[in-house]
Amino acid sequence: MIEKPALIRAIGVPGIALVVLNSMIGAGIFALPADVVAQAGNLSPWLFLGIGTLFVTVVLSFAELSSYFRESGGPVLFTQTAFGPLAGFSAGWLLYISRLSAFAANATAMALYLGAIWPWAATDVGRISMISIVCVGLTVANYVGIKDGIRTLAVLTFLKITPIVILVLVGLKEVTGDVLLPSSMPTIDDLGGLTLLIIYAFIGFEVATVVSGETRHPRRNMPKALVSTVVATSILYFLIMLVYVSVLPDGERDGKTLADVGRILAGGAGAVAIALAAVFSIGGNLASTMLSIPRLSHALSEQGLLPAWFGKIHPRFHTPGNSVLLFGAFCLLLALTGTFKLLIGASSLARMIAYVLSIGGLPSIRRQASAEAAAKAFRLPLGFLIPIIALTLCIWIAASAPPSAWYLLLGQAAVGILLYALVRFRLMS
């Protein structure tokens, strides 16, 4: 009897942490400071810390959800278990489209950042070449093995975090008491819109739960890695914003980036170092997406929600090879054609809805859990208080999205439901 190929459990706590860190820290923190400070002034660092603290309730809810399962799938698995196949497919489809469009957008942004350092990369030929190299390289790395994908993440994480940490350490000497504790509070006209802006820097952690099937001791390691990494990232964002508002005087922050902060602190070398950090940060985000999202379509296939082709495991490399190749091809196509821009507006909204579906299923999953699974699960204290706070936050953020994002999301959902109906009809016929 031929043994069926299976995924290898090769990811430990450090690997999960790398996936979470790189899924969250992408282009966002390099682009957001000026827009946030324009609305919140010196209160910006505390807003990042406060919203990050609130967002931990979402992460904690996912930590408990993930602790009931050993299989890959994340939100797909959570929502299908709680509400049935259609909900599971919907959550998976929303996350797949969201991360696909984000990957394509970030690949283009990475080429633009490279163009600022290396003029050739800004030409049409250079842009196409760099996008192709990134997409093909990450596809191959994740096709031949999960360990190669994790090693790629580890290298990119070091290259992007080191300049940021140095920036923070050098810039902290510029922090004064007035900046740390503002004496006057700015008037924020659109708190919901500002929160939607800031939350973009935190979303993406959920992709780590998609690779549970390749994680060692997922019930124990997943909650630990999720919570600790998101908390650490929130503190890092707070320090980055604290340095930003301290180094750049009020009135001189319009359109300024972290590269401008680096230039003030360390001259041209500082600006180049931060620009390179932005490139590596986006690269880490892309690597994390390429590692995790093909496992999402693999999980949809395992649950009978996509054709079995997506669920094929490579007999030699023990990776979901078909899903990796198809995702890489879609990313390359969207990045080169530019059609991904139509999807960007609904990306954050799609994830908020997926979060709501997942967290909303927690009571049902608690009831359905076997005695053994319940005994090993990470159980949140205070009953359902933390999930209720998380749900309220996600619903409020989703309600702050513009109508255009909702229209685009509804169009994407219609396509997904059509695909789901076709697959289910073939299974039943």
pLDDT at 5: 54
Asked whether residue 79 is domain-assigned, the answer is yes
Highest mean predicted confidence (pLDDT) among 104-118, 143-157, 368-382, 383-397: 383-397
Q: What phi, psi does 414 have (nearest 5°)?
A: -60, -40
pLDDT at 360: 95
Residue 245 one-letter amino acid: V
pLDDT at 49: 92
Q: CB neighbours (10 Å) of residue 79?
A: 29
pLDDT at 361: 94
Tell me the CA end-to-end span of the chain in Å, nearest whole number: 30
Highest mean predicted confidence (pLDDT) among 70-74, 147-151, 375-379: 375-379
Asked whether residue 351 is domain-assigned, the answer is yes
86, 415, 360, 404 alpha-carbon torsion, rounded to 10°:
-160
Average pLDDT over residues 139-157: 72
pLDDT at 4: 47
Average pLDDT over residues 251-273: 83
Higher-confidence residue: 5 or 208?
A: 208
Q: What phi, psi does 422 have (nearest 5°)?
A: -65, -45
Place of tokens 């960007």: 344
Strand partners for 215: 11
Give the C-alpha separation, 65 to 222, whole Å: 10
Asked whether residue 7 is domain-assigned, the answer is no
Give the C-alpha separation, 186 to 114, whole Å: 36
Residue 386 clears pLDDT 80, i.e. is over it: yes
Give the C-alpha separation, 422 to 419, whole Å: 5
Strand partners for 11: 215
- Least confident piece of the model among 207-221, 256-270, 396-410: 207-221
- Which DSSP category does 4 fall into? P
Sequence-distant (6+) residues with CB within 8 A of 84 are: none
DSSP per residue, 97-157: HHHHHHHHHHHHHHHHHHHHHSGGGGSHHHHHHHHHHHHHHHHHHHHS-HHHHHHHHHHHH
Asked whether residue 59 is domain-assigned, the answer is yes
pLDDT at 355: 93
Highest mean predicted confidence (pLDDT) among 39-48, 111-120, 186-195, 354-363: 354-363
Residue 344 one-letter amino acid: I
Split into its structural domains, the chain has a count of: 1
Q: How would residue 2 be classed by pLDDT, with cut points 50, 70 and 90? A: very low
**Among the listed residues 270, 262, 202, the one whose alpha carbon sits nearest the alpha carbon of residue 25:** 202
Asked whether residue 5 is domain-assigned, the answer is no
pLDDT at 144: 77
Report the CATH number at residue 301: 1.20.1740.10
Angle between helices 146-171 and 124-143 (to 10 degrees): 120
Q: CB neighbours (10 Å) of residue 53?
A: 12
Asked whether residue 153 is domain-assigned, the answer is yes
Q: What are the tens digits of pLDDT across the range 306-334?
A: 777 777 887 777 778 888 888 888 888 87
Sequence-distant (6+) residues with CB within 8 A of 396 are: 192, 195
* Structure-token pair, residue 113: 């950042």
**Among the listed residues 66, 72, 23, 1, the one whose alpha carbon sits nearest the alpha carbon of residue 318:** 72
Give the C-alpha separation, 26 to 283, whole Å: 8
Domain that holds residue 282: 13-428
Asked whether residue 219 is domain-assigned, the answer is yes
Q: CB neighbours (10 Å) of residue 344?
A: 15
